[in-house]
Homo-oligomer: A and B are copies of this chain.
Amino acid sequence: MVDDRKLDVLRAIVEDYVATEEPVGSKALVERHGLGVSPATVRNDMAALEDEGYIHQPHTSAGRVPTDKGYRLFVDKLATLKPMSAAERRAIATLLDGAVDLDDVVQRSVRLLSQLTRQVAIVQYPTLSRSTVRHVELVALTPTRILVILILSTGRVEQRLVELDEAVVDADLAELRVSVNQVTAGVRIAEAAAALGALPENVRPGQADSARAIVGVLTEAMSDHRSDERVAVGGTANLARYGDFDTAVRPLLEALEEHVVLLKLLGESGVDALTVRIGHEGPYSELAATSVVATGYGPQELHLGSLGVVGPTRMDYPGSMAAVRAVARYVSRILDEGNQ
């Protein structure tokens, strides 16, 4: 039985607790929020909310603190995205538009997101596996040293150096370059790697070994998912505002070192779908005191990566959610532009 006023009380508790970081009592509540009822009434509601597990009392004679379940209800039913101010919108636009390449977009996004939310921000680099091949370039540094450059639709550039057993002449290299690009251009890298398999058979016999070596590193670069696991982290200094060092800061600091952990934290929410994971809802018991607000990004609903913020369960969900969504949308748009 959760009537409207009780929801109002819960919202007020969450807002006050987030603002003050202290358990909030019935009297302070009616004063700060115009609830129109007496503290005694609020106390009754609080008792009910506590029975239902939405709030919790650290000890008798203390105020109430939202539980994870309480935050969940708040996020699901009560929170409206705090609209971004014009200044914030402008900051997002100007900062991200100034990015010169893909890495720069990611790094600027992290910085931006951490400044907007005053939380720790995480941005996953766009995954390689879903992107398509834009161009392959082969450069003979010497007749036996070939630099293989793989340019992807996301703007990512992968490079590999191949040492050949025997020299390759420019004409053959040019021919190989053309055929490689014919087979792969515009193709998703997973399929491109497969398509390349048969290629070495079709070149001049004497050059088959060289072709095989080059195609080898190329397919390896295409199937190398190292970059899938790359994330950028920013705003760590915001952890300093946390009250509780041992339960909140330390485990999070440790998690931030492990990019695999971060990726799991971010999850795989769809583009434009905000995921909020509160405290124990997450995959790591050590991070029971932290929440994650994340979303996917990518042009036209294509999920290229995720970004979000992590912070204490006691965080400003409406603000964080709005900032995460705004930044994600902007990043998606930029990736789209660079891609057409």
Contacts and interface: CB of A to CB of B under 8 A. Distances in A.
A145 to B, nearest CB: 10
Interface of A: 100-101, 104, 134-135, 137, 139, 141, 147, 149, 151, 155, 157, 159-161, 224, 226, 234-237, 239-240, 245, 249-250, 253-254, 256-257, 338
A99 to B, nearest CB: 11
Interface centre among A101, A234, A338 (most CB of B within 10 A): A101
A262 to B, nearest CB: 13
Given A147-B151, A149-B149, A237-B257, A137 B137 contact: yes
Contacts of A224: 100
15 contacts: A100-B160, A100-B224, A100-B226, A135-B141, A135-B147, A137-B137, A139-B151, A149-B157, A157-B157, A236-B253, A236-B256, A237-B253, A239-B253, A240-B245, A240-B253
Nearest to A140: B135
A249 B242 CA distance: 13
Nearest to A221: B100
B257 A236 contact: yes
Contacts of A104: 226
Contacts of A137: 137, 139, 149
Contacts of A157: 149, 157, 159
A101 B159 contact: yes
Contacts of A254: 237, 240
Contacts of A240: 245, 249-250, 253-254
A160 B102 CA distance: 11
A182 to B, nearest CB: 15
Contacts of A237: 250, 253-254, 256-257
Given A135-B141, A161-B338, A237-B253, 11 more contacts: A135-B147, A137-B149, A147-B151, A155-B159, A157-B157, A157-B159, A236-B257, A237-B250, A237-B257, A240-B253, A245-B245
A298 B338 CA distance: 35
Given A139-B151, A159-B151, A250-B240, A257 B234 contact: yes
A151 B147 CA distance: 10
